[in-house]
Structure 1
């Protein structure tokens, strides 16, 4: 598994649950979870890291708006994380 920060993993979870969310959609959702404002200087470099590590693909919705979509590698990373967590967390 790639060395991702907790924030980057949280971004992956948000993206995996949405259908090609924009950066603003992701920002709104992650701010709701963290109960605080996430500035662009934190959000977009972390999204770019996920794109560069091939966990997320980035495309254009229009000339001003990009979308993000989880890749197979991103799905695999989340699945590996869930398997690792299940060793330590009893959900039943």
Structure 2
């Protein structure tokens, strides 16, 4: 996951958190988070990058709609990133508590 952009990482997290997400559902979630419009020219090439990296699978729901889901590798990458972040967040929380004690 070290070679993903922040936007790609956010995409991966959103895909993992939604049930059978399709492009527009992913777009809506990200627009809520970023509080601005996400253009198709940004969304779909980045989704394709996640597919190419083996982090996300893309399947066709109907003739116009694709669904996305995380692969096992994508899920492992999210778990590893979460553990890595927790190390630093937990460390900072402990340091903050010791400063106030």
- Normalised by the shorter chain, which TM-score bucket? over 0.9
Highest RCO, 1 vs 2 (Cα 8 Å, sep ≥ 6) = 1
Relative to structure 1, the CA distance from residue 45 to residue 52 in structure 2 (aligned partners, 3 Å threshold; closer, same or farther) is same
TM-score normalised according to structure 1 size: 0.94
2:16 paired residue number: 16
Shift of 1:56: 0.3
Aligned to 1:76: 76
Q: Which aligned runs of 4 or more in structure 1 are off by greater than 4 angstroms?
A: none
Shift of 1:2: 4.7
Unaligned segments of structure 1, at least 5 residues: none
SS at 1:54's partner residue? coil
Alignment partner, residue 44 of structure 1 = 44
Q: Which has the larger radius of gyration?
A: 2
Give the structure with the higher percent helix. Answer: 2
Distance in 2 between the 1:71 and 1:2 partners?
17
- Structure 2 unaligned runs (5+)? 95-101
CA RMSD of aligned residues (A): 1.4
Aligned-pair CA distance for 1:58: 0.2
The CA distance in 1 between the partners of 2:20 and 2:69, in whole Å, is: 5
